[in-house]
Amino acid sequence: MQYLTFIERVKALFTKKRIIWGLVVLFIVFIGWFLFIRKPSNTKIQTATVVRKDIKRTVLTTGQVVSEIDLSLSFQSSGVVKRIYVKEGDNVRAGQTLAVLDQGNSSASLESARGTLVQAQANYEKVKSAATNQDIAVSQAAVDTASATLENAKQDLLNEISNAYSSANTAILSYSNNLFSNAQSSSPQFGVAGTVQTNAQSVSNANNDRIVINAMLTDWQIKVSTLSDSNMDQIATESLANLVKISSYFSNIINILTSYTQITTGGSQTTLTTYQTNVATGKSTVDASYTTILNYIQAIKSANFALAQAKASLALKQAPSRPEDISIAEAQVISAQGQYDLALSNLNNTMIVAPESGTITQVDIKLGEQATAMKEVIKLLNVGELHTEAQVSEADIASVVVGQTIDNTFDALGPDRHFESKVLTVNPASTLVSGVVNYKITGSLDNIPEVRPGMTSNMTILVAEKKSVLTIPASSIINQDNKKVVRVVTDPKTKTFIQKEVSIGLEADGGDTEVISGLSEGDEVVTFIK
């Protein structure tokens, strides 16, 4: 009886243990359900839907418009400034002459060297080969044509010198005599009735200039009357100088007339304006004569050069040659070429020529002043060759590569105007800007008329882009044990959810993240729990 009681007790003990273990299991299940499946009734949950769309990632930075070409130009030799052909703001083309020093000696040396070279080349060709009678006849015809061209050019110059005197004299008489009393005398007096003189010295200078001009015209007339081939060069040079003086004379009168600011009784603004127009016409006439004479002088130089070449060619074809003569002639050509190249270099050193097309931003020389070799006198900016420069932080630079698209807006043009460009360079060397490591990049910039160097550019660089991919908000992703996990809603009504591991791709602008695997389009994920 006691044995049975013991047995029953053992059975009862085991029965109690099963009940206890059953309660433990139920408790664990309840806790799991509460933590991972059940949504507490007092918890607020925000969700988002997995959608398919286009996404992109950009890098934002602010840059500045910079010119590709910003040049400081100077003369390569010292001398007196003879001509300045540009002013600040002028647009120039590559190869255009900007300023010139006095080229008297350099030009003469070049012409001499050119003649020596032509002769040496002609002599070399002469001794190197023999010519047929037909070749000689052709060369003789070329000489005759060149001679005729030279004579025509000389006659044109002779005629133009005479015409220049007549035009200048007529301009003086027609457009300035009425501004003087006793204009042709030794004591002319400048004055315009009904005006107030504002610069007595300028008027005095005009009176003196008129005395000089009267004497100069008399002398010029005499020399023109004796004009011939023998004195043509001298009189042409003097005529150019006379025209410059007369042009300056007209300019001074224009300045005086312009300075009259008050019309008195008996005066008329219309009359004053007419005087100004007439004097300007006289100046234009004189300036045109100056240009024409220069053109004819150049035509004579060209004709002389052509004649020299033709004669040299003819002489070459009329004489026999020997081997030793060829060697000597070749050496003469080499020597003459060297002298010519040196003379040409010296002449080029007296000029400033635009190496690139662009805009003149500074002119720091004046006519007649002594220029110093290698001293910066002109600045040239190529506003058509522009690019942008910007700094990108070390956090973003790894994403930026050459060829990526840049969307540019400019503060000066407003935020609504967008201009597309490309990343041109990414500097591998870092720079420290305000204590932050940055890397310089450059971007292309098409020819935009409104854009100027120095403008601020707001640059949006497209570093990555994907089309039609599954996306979720970045706020829905949890880092858990080196894995990416999201909470997927299983019951939209109760907002209950389960955790799922996902693979992600591009982290895009606006908080969007690409989902590679783990979710389907239309799934609802938790973004926030409070």
Structure tokens at 392: 């990108």
State in Å, rounded, how far the first CA of the chain is from the last one. 65
Neighbours of 126 (CB within 10 A): 23
Structure tokens at 497: 């959810």
pLDDT of res. 1: 43
- Which is nearest to 316 in space by CA: 87, 149, 132, 47? 132
Tell me which residues of the chain have a pLDDT lower than 70. Answer: 1-43, 68, 129-132, 193-198, 261-268, 319-322, 383-384
CB 388 within 8 A of CB 461: no
Q: Which residues pair with 41 in a beta bridge?
A: none
pLDDT of res. 183: 81
Place of tokens 């009681």: 5
Structure tokens at 285: 């006439």
Neighbours of 502 (CB within 10 A): 22
Rounded to whole angstroms, how far apart are CA atoms 526 and 522? 13
Rounded to whole angstroms, how far apart are CA atoms 117 and 335? 8
CB half-sphere exposure, 96, CA atoms < 13 A: 15
pLDDT of res. 319: 67
- Which is nearest to 420 in space by CA: 461, 467, 464? 461
CA angle 435, 441, 447 (to 5 degrees): 135
pLDDT of res. 38: 46
Q: Which residues pair with 437 in a beta bridge?
A: 432
Quickly list DSSP for 1-18: -HHHHHHHHHHHHHHHHH
pLDDT of res. 40: 46
> For 365-375, what is each residue's pLDDT tens digit?
999 899 898 88
pLDDT of res. 39: 46
Tell me which amino acid residue 330 is.
E
CA angle 131, 133, 134 (to 5 degrees): 95
pLDDT of res. 149: 93
Quickly list DSSP for 304-358: HHHHHHHHHHHHHHTS---HHHHHHHHHHHHHHHHHHHHHHHHHHTTEEE-SS-E
Q: What is the pTM of this model?
A: 0.41
- Give me the domains of the chain, ranges plus CATH numbers: 57-66+380-465 (2.40.30.170), 73-101+347-377 (2.40.50.100), 131-319 (no CATH)
